[in-house]
Amino acid sequence: MTETATYTYKEHLIEKQRKAEEAMLEEFHLGDYTLDNPLVKYNAYLINPLSAVVLFKTEEPTAITVRVLGKTEEADIFQTFPVGTEHVLPIVGLYPEYENKVEIYPYQTPSKKHTVTIPVGQVEGTDLVNSIETTPEYMQDNIMFLCPANYALAIAVDYAGDVRLKLDVPMVWDVKVLDNGHLLMSSDRLTSMPYFMSGMYEFSAVGKIYTEYRVPTGFHHDCCVLPNGDIIALTCNHENSTVEDQLVVVDKDTGVVKRTINYIDFLKPGAQKSGSWSEEDWFHNNAVWYDKHTNSLTLSGRHVNAMVNIDFDTEEINWIISDPDGWPEEYHKYLFTPVGDGEFDWQYEQHANLITPDGDVMCFDNHHYGAQDPDKYLTPEESYSRGVRYKIDTETMEIEQVWQYGKERGYEFFSPYICNVVYYNEDHYLIHSGGIAYDGQGNPSKELGPFAMQEDPDAKLESITVEWNHGVKEYELSVRSNYYRAEKFPLYSKKGGEYDLQLGAGRVLGYLGETAQMDYDIPAEEVNEPVPEKVDVRLTDEEDMFTFEAMFEKGQLVMLVLEGEEDTRRYFISTAKGHRGAMCAGTFLPKDDRETRTVVTKYGFDKGDYKVKLIIDDKKYDTGLTIKG
């Protein structure tokens, strides 16, 4: 029987980095590398092709300054590293397609500088900037980091519109800057379609991953860090067969889930329905914010058109910001009444809620559909999106709109999905409209960005990021792709003093939960023939999960069967073709809609090996592949 299935083992990225770092350090220690003759390792941690590591020794303990020369003097990126005799220095902010020059010298002794040349070739995905309007005086040494929402991966852009960081692996969702200067973002490991990830990576701009925090029921959209350092991660309530309606508290040191909060415990599914609502995705939590002043969580529920604030201890509702139209009577005590003489609009299918230092509430109001009543829904041509700030009084339950930006730009700023706002200071905000899409005729698309690209090869995607500073637009960036969120920070973090690399193997904490199995069998004839070649079976195996990819026609009945000596595991593979109401990250969508991707964790795989078989309609095929238990 001719084999028609392929098997690949994929090593964890942390393990790949460990091996690369150990080889780099061995080469360093075996050589005689000095400031004038350093060891230079380009893309040392494999995922940021606009980075390097420079290694050398000095006879005396010395602090070292590094300056990555920009195309203009204002674009220089520099950092001084702590005193030492062995220097392992992360170099970030290189340009693609450029002979990069990096000056290295003892602190306060530029006369002894040595210049290293690091040539970088073409880097895919670094040519997406349409335009930028700002000044180097305003941006200083900050970059704008754009988080993926489509096939284009994460990039960071300087004041001149040049890309100075690029991630080569699909890390998605928002990025946070931790108190130690590291970054926190999703892993690149998909655990279930369309975008639920194994957890979060703590990493640095040079690309080194220090920790993977695994989340048992899949991580999505957002996380936040509590005052004690533990992490709140958004996840799914698999026991209820629903998604994006649960969060967990992850221990910062062990990765253990210390607590779970299910939203059905305080909000009835279907109590309110946005235009994108579904029974499975009834809440669609796309943001979480912890407020230390009230010990509360604010949750953005896209599919209930609401920001819901709950007490962190009791999990009881404190208040809800939402258009009252259509809410059941039992929730009216939590809703606000608009006041004030200025303009007021409710938010619809919002993202990225936050609480300002004085207790106001901000969000990105996508204003998708623009009403609770389906008879009043707006067309894309009538639509707008905006950043908005509300002042609330929880005693009188009154709400006032005190600021907005974006409505005046109409549909050119309209994003039906994704996006964020950032509060810097009073009247100083970022507003990121990351989900703009136009059809081939230049009209605002009725489809979310990933689907617009699938439906129309001439569709155009765009992200527009604006910073508003005391009535002045100080920044505007336009990019040719959709990006989930935008965050501004320096590549060499000024938080926590963790400028230097922390050497040693990264950690993988927590565990992946068990993938749901089917509790029935499909009658099928076991055939002694290979899987049809057109099915194109590909299995990618990892230490804690595997991914099964194959091509099927719409409507075929398909089941993946793992047969062991002691038990059999069955996983249904859907071949139905359809659109989710909310595709906030199309990064993992196949470009051919016949392609399926099924991820199975190895939780509970402790009873030996499993033969991989495949039922297609009424036939059961042996793929010839085996999963090790």
516-533 pLDDT, tens digit each = 999 888 899 999 999 999
CA 494, 495, 496, 501 dihedral sign is negative
H helices present in 140-261, as ranges: none
Residue with tokens 């809410």: 327
579 pLDDT band, cuts 50/70/90, is: low
Topology given in CATH for the domain delimited by 32-120:
Immunoglobulin-like (2.60.40)
Alpha carbon distances (Å) from 332 to 101, 329, 584 = 62, 5, 30
Q: State the SS3 of 510-558.
A: CCCCCCCCCCCCCCCEECCCCCCHHHCEEEEECCCEEEEEEECCCCCCE
Please work out, in degrees rounded to the nearest 5, the angle formed at the alpha carbon of residue 72 by the alpha carbons of 67 and 77.
25
Q: Quote the pLDDT of residue 32.
A: 96
Q: Quote the pLDDT of residue 494.
A: 74
Q: Are 444 and 414 in contact (CB under 8 A)?
A: yes
pLDDT in tens, 176-203: 999 999 999 999 999 999 999 999 999 9
Q: Quote the pLDDT of residue 496.
A: 60
Q: Quote the pLDDT of residue 582.
A: 79
With 70 as the cut, is the pLDDT of residue 580 above it? no
Q: Are 25 and 14 in contact (CB under 8 A)?
A: no
Q: Quote the pLDDT of residue 454.
A: 77
CB count within 10 Å of CB 84 equals 14
Counting every residue written for the chain, the total comes to 629
Q: Quote the pLDDT of residue 578.
A: 64
Partnered with residue 549 across adjacent β-strands are: 538, 597
4 pLDDT band, cuts 50/70/90, is: confident
State mean pLDDT over 71-93: 96
**Alpha-carbon gap, residue 438 to 442, rounded angstroms:** 5
Q: Quote the pLDDT of residue 264.
A: 98
- Outline where DSSP puts E strands in 283-397: 285-291, 296-301, 306-311, 317-321, 337-338, 351-355, 361-365, 386-393
Q: Where are the domains of the chain?
A: 5-9+515-628, 32-120, 129-510
Tell which CATH architecture fits domain 129-510: 7 Propeller (2.130)
Tokens, residue 494: 């000024």
R_g of the chain computed on alpha carbons: 26
Selection from 83, 292, 72, 101 nearest residue 162 by Cα: 72
CB count within 10 Å of CB 97 equals 11
Cβ-count burial 446-478 (b if 16+ within 10 Å, e if not) = ebbbbbbbbebeebbbbbbbbbbeeeeebbebb
Q: Quote the pLDDT of residue 343.
A: 95
Residues 6 or more apart in contact with residue 424 via CB below 8 angstroms: 430
**Alpha-carbon gap, residue 493 to 182, rounded angstroms:** 8
Alpha carbon distances (Å) from 355 to 230, 388, 392, 393, 426 = 19, 12, 11, 13, 12
Residue 312 buriedness (CB in 10 A; 0-12 / 13-18 / 19+): middle
Tokens, residue 458: 């001439």
Residue with tokens 């780099």: 24
Q: What is the DSSP string of 108-174?
A: T-GGG-EEEEEEE---TT---EEEEE--HHHHTTEEEEEEESSSS--EEE-TTS-EEEE-SS---S-
Q: What's the mean pLDDT when you consider all of the chain?
A: 95
Q: Which residue has the higher pLDDT, 607 or 223?
A: 223
Tokens, residue 574: 């859907």
Q: Edge to edge, what strands does the sheet with 5-9 contain?
A: 5-9, 537-541, 545-551, 595-601
Q: Confirm whether 5-9+515-628 and 32-120 share one CATH topology.
A: yes
**What secondary structure letter does DSSP report for 504?**
S
**Alpha-carbon gap, residue 59 to 446, rounded angstroms:** 65
For the chain, what is the total number of helices (H) and then of strands (E)? Answer: 3, 42
**Alpha-carbon gap, residue 409 to 422, rounded angstroms:** 19
Q: Which residue has the higher pLDDT, 268 or 628?
A: 268
Q: Are 149 and 419 in contact (CB under 8 A)?
A: no
Q: Quote the pLDDT of residue 124.
A: 96
497 pLDDT band, cuts 50/70/90, is: low
pLDDT in tens, 428-470: 999 999 999 999 999 998 888 888 877 888 899 999 999 999 9
pLDDT in tens, 389-411: 999 999 999 999 999 999 999 99
Q: Quote the pLDDT of residue 628.
A: 87
With 70 as the cut, is the pLDDT of residue 2 above it? no
Cis check: omega of the bond before 194, within 30 degrees of 0: yes
1 pLDDT band, cuts 50/70/90, is: very low
| CATH class, 5-9+515-628 region | mainly beta
pLDDT in tens, 589-616: 888 888 999 999 999 998 889 999 999 9
With 80 as the cut, is the pLDDT of residue 353 above it? yes
Q: Quote the pLDDT of residue 511.
A: 95
Tokens, residue 343: 């303009």
Q: Quote the pLDDT of residue 591.
A: 83
**What secondary structure letter does DSSP report for 444?**
B
**Alpha-carbon gap, residue 77 to 253, rounded angstroms:** 33
Q: What are phi and psi of 23, to 5 degrees?
A: -65, -40
Q: Name the strand (E) or helix (H) holding 15.
A: helix 13-30
Least confident of 4-8, 71-75, 558-562, 599-603: 4-8
Residues 6 or more apart in contact with residue 106 via CB below 8 angstroms: 35, 58, 62, 63, 64, 65, 112
With 80 as the cut, is the pLDDT of residue 118 above it? yes
Q: What are phi and psi of 333, to 5 degrees?
A: -65, -15
